[in-house]
Amino acid sequence: MTQTTFAITSAGKPVQDIHPLVAHHLLVVGQTGSGKTTSTLSLLDQLQRTNYTTIIFDPTGEYSKLPNSVTYKLGENAYLEAGQLSAHQLREALRIHGNQLLNDKLAQAVDALRIQQNIVQSNKPYVKIGVPIADYQKQLAKLSNWSRSFAPQQLAEQLIAEFVIPYPDERADYALLGQQYDRPTIN
């Protein structure tokens, strides 16, 4: 155990054992230049010496040159697997700030593609024309947390497939997901 003093308590007592310090949540605050980064680096250095594994989420890259660390950079050597994301996470990742309709349709499209991949075992879009609502809901109910994955390359086409509506006349069948494409809204 190292005897380095890397902190002093408010009572003026030197802190020599790092474990109680990091066993709880720890917030480092102070003005710019007051030593936050230096203190944090010292903590990380102590943790490395005691063989702790530390994971740093570093939005500015300030800690990327830390010795003995493995650095993953999103888009360079780390990637988001689009087919594992929720509709909400997709919107955040792609910075889609659409209206409510588009948000709802995107969520539906992800659900439909999850059904395709995990229940129908197809990588094609889910064509909703003529599908009874009851059948669709049974498929939806079969999805579990284990069947989150979907084919992201079909997302654009699936989004179009979501815009199905009943016929506008006496042929309308409300037991079906849809009977024709809502072309004006798709456009």
Ligand X SMILES: Nc1ncnc2c1ncn2[C@@H]1O[C@H](COP(=O)(O)OP(=O)(O)O)[C@@H](O)[C@H]1O
Binding segment for ligand X (CB under 6 A), chosen from 26-34, 132-140, 148-156, 176-184, is: 26-34
Tell me which residues in 20-59 interact with Mg ion (CB under 5 A). 36-37
33 scored as a contact of ligand X (CB under 6 A): yes
Which partner from the list ligand X, Mg ion, none does 50 bind, CB cut-off 5 to 8 Å by kind? none
Q: Which is nearer to ligand X, 33 or 184 (CB)?
A: 33
Q: Residue 144, Cβ neighbours under 10 Å: how many? A: 8
Q: How far is the CB of 36 from ligand X (least distance, A)?
A: 3
Is residue 36 involved in binding ligand X (CB under 6 A)? Answer: yes
Q: Is 143 exposed, middle or buried (0-12, 13-18, 19+ CB in 10 A)?
A: middle
- Does 35 participate in binding ligand X (rule CB under 6 A)? yes
Q: Which is nearer to ligand X, 30 or 132 (CB)?
A: 30
Non-local (6+) Cβ contacts of 147 within 8 A are 114, 117, 118, 119
Nearest approach in angstroms of CB 5 to ligand X is: 11
DSSP state of 152: G
Q: Which residue from 180, 155, 173 is spatially nearest to 102, judged by alpha carbons?
A: 155
The residues, ordered by sequence, that sit 6+ positions from 122 with a Cβ below 8 Å of its Cβ are: 116
CA of residue 101 relative to chain centroid, distance = 21
DSSP 69: -
With CB under 5 to 8 Å by kind, the binding choice for 34 among Mg ion, ligand X, none is ligand X
Q: Which positions touch Mg ion (CB under 5 A)?
A: 36-37
Q: Which positions touch ligand X (CB under 6 A)?
A: 30, 32-38
